[in-house]
Structures are given as structure tokens and as C-alpha cells.
Amino acid sequence: MHVLTVDDSRASRLVIVRFLTDLGFQATEAVDGTEGLRYLRGGRKFDVILVDWEMPGMSGVEFIRAVRSDAATIDTPIIMISTLNSSDRLVEALEAGANEYIMKPFTKEILAMKLDLLGVESK
């Protein structure tokens, strides 16, 4: 199972990739939405996408809308990971097309549970 993680913070990416690796997933990092879309449109297949909300340039929500507007990735599960934790923000992300939402700070167990909810298994 291959996961694309889109986050401008190197620290965040480091944590997420560590968690994913421990959980038995393969991870590819993108430093912003543009790079993320480049990977996706370059024909690479991902089973899940994790995306941060607040990034320079394209925001996480804009990224999700772009992913959803492409027939090739219209159904790829997306989890938004963000410090934003108001109900309105969660609704905004879900309406844009996110399948799940993780509020920071989070643990590996929380990530595993969310992946489980989406029916994504490491093997």
C-alpha cells in the first residue's frame, strides 16, 4: 500500500512517514500541493493521500478539490491532517472531498484507526 503525504513542514512529514513505515505502508513525500499533484498526474498510483491544510501556495482544501476533479483520483481516499479543529473547518474539508480528518496532535494509533476506518490495510 502506497501513501502520498503532502505537507510543507519537514518535521510533520518526518513524523508521518515514520508512523506510516511502522504501520507497514510505503510513503512518498510531497512538499506542497503542486508537487503532490505532479506525482498524481505523473501516473503514480497511490492508495491513500494524507494532506496538511495550511501550506504556502495551494492550501490543503484547494489540493483536495484538484484531486477530486480528476477522474483518475476521484475515489482515492484522502485524510486531512491539521491543527485546525473547529467544526466548520472539518465540514469544509469533508465537503471539499476529504474522507477523514485528523486533528493534531495525533499518535500513530490514531492514524492507524483512521486508515482502518477507510478500510485501508497495510498488507
Positions in the binding site for another protein (CB under 8 A): 9-12, 14-16, 18-19, 22, 52, 54, 83, 85-87, 90-91, 93-94, 98, 100-110, 113, 116-117
Instruction: Dump the DSSP string for the chain.
Output: -EEEEE-S-HHHHHHHHHHHHHTT-EEEEESSHHHHHHHHHTT---SEEEEES--SSS-HHHHHHHHHTSGGGTT--EEEEES---HHHHHHHHHHT-SEEEESS--HHHHHHHHHHTT----
Nearer to another protein, 42 or 105 (CB): 105
The Cα 117–Cα 11 span in angstroms is 26
Q: Which residues on adjacent β-strands are paired with residue 2? A: 26
Nearer to another protein, 62 or 116 (CB): 116
Nearer to another protein, 12 or 28 (CB): 12
Least Å from the CB of residue 78 to another protein: 11
Nearer to another protein, 41 or 121 (CB): 121
Least Å from the CB of residue 14 to another protein: 7
Least Å from the CB of residue 88 to another protein: 9
Least Å from the CB of residue 1 to another protein: 17
